[in-house]
Amino acid sequence: MQGSLLQVTLMKLSKEMRKKINLLQSGNLLPGFPPIPDSQLRYANLEVTVDKMVQILGPEEAVKITFRILRDMNLHNIADELKREHIRNHALSCLPSRPLSSERSKQEEIEERIEVNLSQSLTDTKEQLLRNVLGKVDQAMRMTDPLQTSPDNLVTEVYEESRGAYRFKCPSAGLFPSGVTGLGFGMEGEGEVLYWTVPWDRWLLAQRGKRPAGPLFKFTCLKGSVCQLQLPHCELHSNGGCDFLSVAHVMDDTLEFIRDVQITDKHVILNISGFSAYGIVREDDSPTVPIHALVLLFYKLPVVPKKRSILNVLLLPRNVMIREVQEEWKRRNGDQETYIETNTHCQLIPKQEYTLSTDLTDEHQIRPKDAAFVDFESYENYIPTFQLFLQTVVEQVDLLLKEKDGAESVWDRLVWLPVSPTEIISTASGPLPVGPPANPPTLSGEDFITKHRVKLEECMGELQPILLKLQDCKVLNNVEREKIDNISSRIQRNKALLDMIMRKGPRAQEQLYQALKKEDPYLVEDLEEETS
């Protein structure tokens, strides 16, 4: 019976985990306690490893070794849980250093209880180690290496452009990473999750001494149950920046901050029991240290015959949603701008000023001359940090990013720029069109929304009847409606609605105009009188 229990336990553990345990156990982890010789563990399975731990170190020291491993892996919550469990069960002595002489009487009582337990069955003790101690290491390995628990990695993720949302399907229980957004989901079984980003209420965060340190994600579990969430962060673990992170849990009218999280090199991990909106935040007064960042490039192709072009340079945190940045630039500029693929990764210091330079000898300008990297404003406003204005057609450019007045570059790339549209057309076969196609008729709603957008952001009041009409005519879907409803600030709600409508084109703008005329006629009349 006991042997079969060991066999079942061993079957749950991967080969990689056994190698990791053997490697760690053979190191000199605790002063005063000899490591297990590497020759005895090199080809050992997990059961042999446990035998050697108990034989050479004893049960208590084996737990101490494991406790130290967990702490070294920065898995403090699991280490503390291990410590509490064994103290509560009176099975092992306290995990920290050996007690002082003044504590000997209490220690002797504990040792007596241990001796009684050991005399009952050494095998029971080893099984207890397998279940409680190495089970904790197994849990640690699963949390730090999500792919280990989902060996098939058979996940499906689809971006639904009409909804602006991601649909993530998992085939079984386990931890599954998203290759698109960097998130990870711990599933209790087969499941399906729909998620998207929503705007932060930065004013509300500032009231609590926080600022965004990542996108705010809204989740809906369509099928199954999610027990763990992994949010990507951009901190350098070695700089201590992770110490000031927590997770904001945003519900309908409440906001709470979760500090009971696990932090790895790339993710903030938390256990959840239900879905709403989650996002990483940082203490507003935390020390300024470098973070992982990206340099994204968008190129506005040359305009013939003037041949002038613009290279837009964006400095963003690493955990920004790159797809959303691309979608936003496409919405603003259509096909006039091209995303330039390059090695984007670097390390930048928030609030630090940087300068951009180039090796070009042809006529060009870079504006501004220097600019600050403001990381927390980068999760919604994808504004260029620098713009390189080119007066002639350029096919390649060497870009260097430096700290202001600094000597060393923090990002240095050779960038190949695409050919002009006329060069692309000239290589195509067939006659060119005689003239441009006729412009479609301009709708009055398009003129109204475009002219009065700023005023509408400030003055639109109750949106619910307007949103209902826009849903009825299929301008908005359920996800978009929920996005707007979840924004607490009235002006931010108005802005989000107008952003969506502008993105959908003239017909959607006409529908909003007609809804406003019916639900808020005095506002429409007042704005129209201003331009009459």
Residue 409 and residue 355: Cα distance in Å, rounded? Answer: 10
Report the relative pairing of strands 277-283 and 291-303 from DSSP bridges.
Answer: unpaired
The arithmetic mean of pLDDT across residues 136-149, rounded, is 44
Judge whether residue 200 has pLDDT over 80.
yes
pLDDT of residue 363: 85
Residue 5 and residue 404: Cα distance in Å, rounded? Answer: 63
Distances (CA, A) of 359 to 142, 356, 364, 393: 47, 11, 11, 15
In a domain, 27, yes or no: yes
pLDDT of residue 84: 63
Judge whether residue 269 has pLDDT over 60.
yes
Q: What is the 3-state secondary structure (H, E, C) of 194-256?
A: EEEEECCCHHHHHHCCEEEEEEEEEEEEEECCEEEEEEECCECHHHCHHHHEEEEEECCCCEE
Residue-wise pLDDT for 452-464, tens only, equals 888 888 888 888 8
User: For the chain, what percent of residues have pLDDT higher than 90?
Assistant: 25
pLDDT of residue 288: 92
In a domain, 100, yes or no: yes
Q: Are residues 369 and 451 in the same domain?
A: no
Instruction: Write phi, then psi, for 95 (nearest 5 degrees).
Output: -80, -30
Residue 345's pLDDT band, with cuts at 50, 70 and 90, is very high
DSSP tally for the chain: helices H, then strands E? 19, 22
The arithmetic mean of pLDDT across residues 172-181, rounded, is 83
Q: Are residues 329 and 244 in the same domain?
A: no
Distances (CA, A) of 165 to 95, 160, 230, 243, 483: 47, 5, 18, 31, 10
Contacts of 394 (CB under 8 A, 6+ apart): 309, 360, 362, 364, 417
Residue 311's pLDDT band, with cuts at 50, 70 and 90, is very high
The last residue of a domain, from among 242, 257, 283: 283
Nearest in space to 448 (alpha carbons), one of 399, 360, 511:
511
- Domain residue limits at 480: 444-530
491: tokens are 């002006």
pTM for the full model? 0.56
Residue 261 near residue 193 (C-beta atoms within 8 A): no
pLDDT of residue 245: 96
Residue 356 and residue 368: Cα distance in Å, rounded? Answer: 9
Judge whether residue 314 has pLDDT over 90.
yes
Q: What CATH number is associated with residue 491?
A: 1.10.533.10
Judge whether residue 295 has pLDDT over 80.
yes
Could you give the number of structural domains in the chain?
4
In a domain, 330, yes or no: yes
- Between these two residues, 179 and 13, which has the higher pLDDT value? 179
Q: What CATH number is associated with residue 323?
A: 2.60.40.2660
Residue 527's pLDDT band, with cuts at 50, 70 and 90, is confident
- Between these two residues, 406 and 55, which has the higher pLDDT value? 406
Q: Are residues 24 and 91 in the same domain?
A: yes
Q: What CATH number is associated with residue 222?
A: 2.60.220.30
Judge whether residue 443 has pLDDT over 50.
no
User: For the chain, what percent of residues have pLDDT higher than 70?
Assistant: 64
Judge whether residue 12 has pLDDT over 80.
no
